Every structure is written in structure tokens, then in C-alpha cells.
Amino acid sequence: MKVKSKMLTLYLMANGMTGAEFAREIGVGATEVEKMLNGEAVDEPTARKFIYYLGADEAQYFVDWEAIGKINPFAADDDTDDKGGGD
């Protein structure tokens, strides 16, 4: 999974967290969060913990669907695209 690094950075800033603090919160190593912040892909266990922590409804906006070549499965249920910066 790849996340929108700018969006994650803004989330961390808004919540007064460092990458290392966020890593501890979601239960992954700091290097995994650094990968996310650098726009790199993370493995499935990290992706699951990220999604579980934020909740799928919120996490969907952080996932860089285009970068991973997938369509957001929640998009059909979401009449607005004001959070995802989609098209």
C-alpha cells in the first residue's frame, strides 16, 4: 500500500505527532512510517494496522489508489470526493 505522503504529514502535524510516535500508536516500526512519509510502499501487515488505526472510512482518503493501480472500493458509496483529492 502507498499513502498520500502530504496528507499523512498534515495528519501528523494536526495531531501533534512525530512519525515515530505514530509508528508506536499503530504498532509498527518507525521505518515503516518513514516509508509512508516518503511515498514508498509498505507491506500488508503495516497497511492493515494503518487502516485499523484510522478506520477504513477515514483511511481510504490516505491511500494513493492511483499509485497502486486500484480503484477505491468505497468510492461508489461516497457521493463527494472532497477529501480524497481524486480526479
**What are the residue boundaries of the structural domains of the chain, listed by start?**
5-70
Over the stretch 26-49, which tens digit does the pLDDT of each residue have? 999 999 999 999 999 999 999 999
Proportion of the chain above pLDDT 70, given as a percent: 86
Is residue 71 a contact partner of residue 77, using CB atoms and an 8 Å limit? no
Average pLDDT of the chain? 90
- Secondary structure (DSSP) of 2-59: -B-HHHHHHHHHHTT--HHHHHHHHTS-HHHHHHHHTT----HHHHHHHHHHH-HHHH
